[in-house]
Structure 1
Amino acid sequence: MQTDPQRRFIRTAAADFQVKDVYRTALAIEDEVAKQGGFVVDNDIQAQVQRVQSRSIGNGKRLELAEYRLQGALMVRVPSERTQVFLRAIASQTEFLDSRNFNARDAQFDLLRQQLARQRAQDAQQELGAAVQAGGKLGDKADAIQARGDARTSRDEAVIAQKEFEDRVAFSTITLSLSQDVQIRTRERVDVDAEGARRLG
């Protein structure tokens, strides 16, 4: 079955998965994005502390144990035709897949709508330009000039909307959520209670 060359798609994808190391995986994903000719829009990595325990270990010190989970969120854009290749390439980073979805929305009519809106704005500007040149009363000319300014604004907005749309067609948007197993961080702290008791004693 052949694909209609006139059809244009807006591709989006999202995946939520667990990895061995969030930071290293994020770097590997960034490398793969660059390899596919894309770019990273957002990369956010945070440690979510889940529980902290503390106990005295003597000599005026306490041992603190903190359980935390490292989580990452990335948004990347890759050339639309490379979306599936990219998703397959990063699959090797997955320890456990929580969810994945992919959507290719047929955008041919949206594109046509954008093109027609742009053409209408251009036509309106040309017609108003002709009206200004034709002469007539000063008040009518002022109204025509104002209307022409409005038409230019509409034309500019139509151009921007079409460029934004073409960008969404050219580059897919992929949202990735990463997490890794709970880690434990240990550190020693001054035992304030023991230090206070020693001074009082």
Structure 2
Amino acid sequence: MKKYLFCIAIFSLIFGCNSDKKDYAADESVSKEVVIADAADTSAAPKIIKTADMRFRVKDVQDTKEKLSSTIKAQGGTVAEFSINSSIQESDKVKYSTDSLKEITSYRKEGLVIAKIPSEKLDDFINTIARMAVFVDNQAMKMDDQSIAYLANKLKAQNRAEALNTINQTAKRKGNNVETSLYIKDDYVDKKIENMDIDDRVKFSTITLNFYQDNTVKTLIVGNDNLSDYKPGFFKRLGLNMLEGWKFFKEIILALSTLWMFIVLGLAVFFGIRYYLRSKKV
């Protein structure tokens, strides 16, 4: 009987050792798969974001803006933003005629274009723009490697997906944790959107173009707003004033004519007193 028990114990020990070896081999296989998967993730294509800036002088801002739009479209890009501004440097008005002035204005025109260009065509596009310029004030390009951030977002998104799967499996037994599940889903979406944004910026480079032209002088005939210039000449004003004085004199005569009785009475009193004084001396 003891011999049988001893044989059974030895057989159980051997079977247990074989089972442990299989489990260890399975764990090692899983670990290798994880390492291989991680290596595949880390060996993904680099995510390089290119941005460029240029400032240059041109002959005509409006014409250059139109050429830029055509060139950007031909390269497969898009115009994200543009603006054209004119700033007055100096302005003056000189007399042109009695009722008009010549307005002389010196102004400076500047343009801004922000475009998205396919990254592989950015260098050719910059060279094309440089040929449009009278001369280039400055140009710069920056390369930002987002590979690590992209990989981090990808791995975090995978972790969120696994966590959601675990929550969904345990929810049937322990109840559904809605708040935790919603937070993980939102964070998963954020990581996905961040990587979509990186992919878009890697595919299309952003270039900012500032351009300007020499000061332009513009002349324009405008109405004279100085009212004193509309007065007539000296001799004409002299004649008008004399005529106006004659009218005023006639008005005085007419006013005095309404007082003729007082005038006659005054003359009578005057001559009466004079006659009285002379007769008294005699």
Instruction: State the TM-score, normalized to the length of structure 1.
Output: 0.88
Deviations 1:2-47 (A, max 9, x none): xx98323110100000011111111111111111111110011111
Q: Any residues of structure 2 matched to 1:181-200 within 5 Å, and which?
A: 181-193=214-226, 195-198=227-230
Q: Alignment partner of 1:135: what SS?
A: helix
How far is 1:58 from its partner? 2.1
Larger relative contact order (Cα-Cα within 8 Å, sequence gap ≥ 6): 1
Q: Are positions 1:174 and 2:207 aligned together? A: yes
The residue identity in structure 2 corresponding to 1:12 is: T
Q: Any residues of structure 2 matched to 1:7-156 within 5 Å, and which?
A: 7-132=46-171, 134-136=172-174, 141=176, 144-156=177-189
How far is 1:105 from its partner? 2.1
Answer whether contact 1:64 1:189 (CA < 8 A) is retained: yes
Answer whether contact 2:146 2:198 (CA < 8 A) is retained: no
Aligned identity (percent) is 24
Which has the larger Rg? 2
Deviations 1:85-118 (A, max 9, x none): 1111121111011110011222221221221222
Q: Which runs of 4+ in 1 moved over 4 A?
A: none
Q: Alignment partner of 1:192: what SS?
A: coil
CA RMSD of aligned residues (A): 1.9
How far is 1:199 from its partner? 5.8
Instruction: State the TM-score, normalized to the length of structure 2.
Output: 0.64
How far is 1:124 from its partner? 2.5
Deviations 1:162-186 (A, max 9, x none): 1011111111000000100110111
